[in-house]
């Protein structure tokens, strides 16, 4: 409202490794009085009671009990992206602070990347590019072959919004689609993409040419794919992970790739991120790793920011919060 002071909102910083994009600052400042962590720490006595929301961009600022104790009027933490495993939900609840995220905004781009990784791994795009541009290349070998995607069996572990969008894309490739989920989708949704429900993940792993992970990180999905699960997969199978690095036991994955237990892996997520430069995954030719870019497009980042603004505004106005995470 004109004439009223804008709400004070805490951010980590502007620009830099974890900062809010400079292009977005003008939009945010139309709605909020932005306070960086540096400004807050330098003037905590004045600002502590002013701040009513935290705009959390890529897991920053880090929410601790010490921080929450100094923000008596904090109403909401708006977190970018889908995952919430970086937050202590019990801690937020104990302080009566609401939480929102942006789960639906990132699902389309993340599904696109899942298909891109599947195609790139199967057709060996990175190796092909390196061969094509190498100064040592004199001819293209006729026996340099990739694997098919069209008509193959795709097993999707986690058929939420993103997993379902992967299935929609895979249908266009005439893939046979299996899925494992906490709850079976209704018959109409299954029929629309030609998906078959596997109550047991083992059945999916044994039948799939590609296994794609699209799960939230919870205690139940922590290292969901380990040595046993990898050994159930076909030796010709490829693992695609677009969820969280910790959904896979990386030591077991390295062993499986080195020993040809499975054929290949396409990973948009690892732990940690980035991997140490001497990590064995970085040395394997049958691994394609991208830098956690599932939702990293200009349009999606803008929509995430707009969603977060809407959630903060609703919370401060005492209205239902879009995309609220129930604590």
Catalytic residue numbers? 244, 273, 292
Residue 43 phi, psi dihedral angles, 5° rounding: -140, 45
Contacts by residues 17-26 (CB-CB < 8 Å, ≥ 24 positions apart): 18/57, 18/58, 18/59, 18/60, 19/57, 20/55, 20/57, 21/301, 24/301, 24/302, 24/305
How many Å apart are CA 212 and CA 269, to the nearest integer?
Answer: 12
DSSP category for residue 98: E
CA angle 57, 165, 171 (to 5 degrees): 155
Q: How far apart are CA 326 and CA 244, in angstroms?
A: 21
Q: Where are the beta strands (DSSP E) in 254-297?
A: 264-267, 287-289
**Is residue 219 a contact partner of residue 191, using CB atoms and an 8 Å limit?**
no
Distance CA 12, CA 292 (A): 20
Q: Is 326 helix (H, G, I), strand (E, B) or coil?
A: coil
| CA–CA dist 8, 47 (Å, integer) | 8
Contact indicator for 13, 62 with CB cutoff of 8 Å: no
Half-sphere exposure of 87 (CA within 13 A, CB side): 30
> Can you say whether residue 124 is alpha, beta or left, with left for phi > 0 and alpha for psi between -120 and 50 degrees?
left
Nearest in space to 28 (alpha carbons), one of 40, 45, 14? 14
SS3 content of the chain, % helix, strand, coil (to 5): 35, 15, 45
């Amino acid at each position: 409202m004109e004439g009223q002071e804008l709400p004070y909102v805490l951010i980590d910083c502007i620009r830099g490794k974890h900062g809010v994009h400079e292009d977005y600052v003008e939009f945010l400042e139309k709605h909020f009085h932005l306070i960086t962590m540096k400004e807050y720490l330098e003037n905590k006595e004045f600002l502590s009671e002013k701040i009513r929301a935290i705009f959390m961009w890529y897991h920053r600022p880090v929410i601790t009990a010490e921080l929450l104790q100094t923000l008596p009027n904090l109403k909401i933490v708006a977190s970018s992206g889908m995952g919430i495993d970086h937050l202590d939900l019990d801690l937020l609840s104990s302080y009566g602070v609401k939480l929102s995220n942006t789960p639906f905004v990132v699902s389309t781009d993340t599904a696109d990347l899942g298909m891109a990784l599947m195609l790139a791994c199967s057709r060996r795009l990175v190796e092909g590019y390196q061969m094509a541009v190498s100064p040592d290349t004199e001819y293209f070998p006729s026996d340099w072959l990739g694997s098919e995607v069209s008509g193959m069996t795709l097993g999707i572990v986690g058929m939420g919004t993103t997993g379902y969008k992967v299935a929609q894309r895979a249908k266009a490739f005439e893939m046979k689609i299996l899925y494992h989920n906490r709850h079976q989708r209704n018959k109409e949704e299954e029929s629309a993409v030609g998906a078959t429900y596997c109550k047991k993940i083992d059945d999916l792993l044994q039948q799939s040419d590609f296994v794609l992970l699209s799960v939230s990180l919870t205690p139940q999905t922590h290292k969901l794919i380990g040595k046993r699960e990898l050994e159930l997969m076909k030796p010709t199978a490829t693992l695609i992970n677009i969820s969280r690095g910790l959904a896979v036991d990386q030591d077991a994955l390295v062993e499986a790739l080195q020993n040809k237990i499975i054929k290949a892996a396409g990973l948009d997520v690892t732990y940690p991120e980035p991997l140490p430069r001497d990590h064995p995954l970085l040395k394997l030719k049958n691994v394609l790793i991208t830098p956690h870019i599932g939702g990293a497009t200009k349009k999606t980042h803008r929509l995430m920011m707009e969603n977060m603004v809407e959630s903060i505004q609703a919370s401060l106005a005492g209205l239902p919060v879009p995309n609220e995470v129930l604590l």
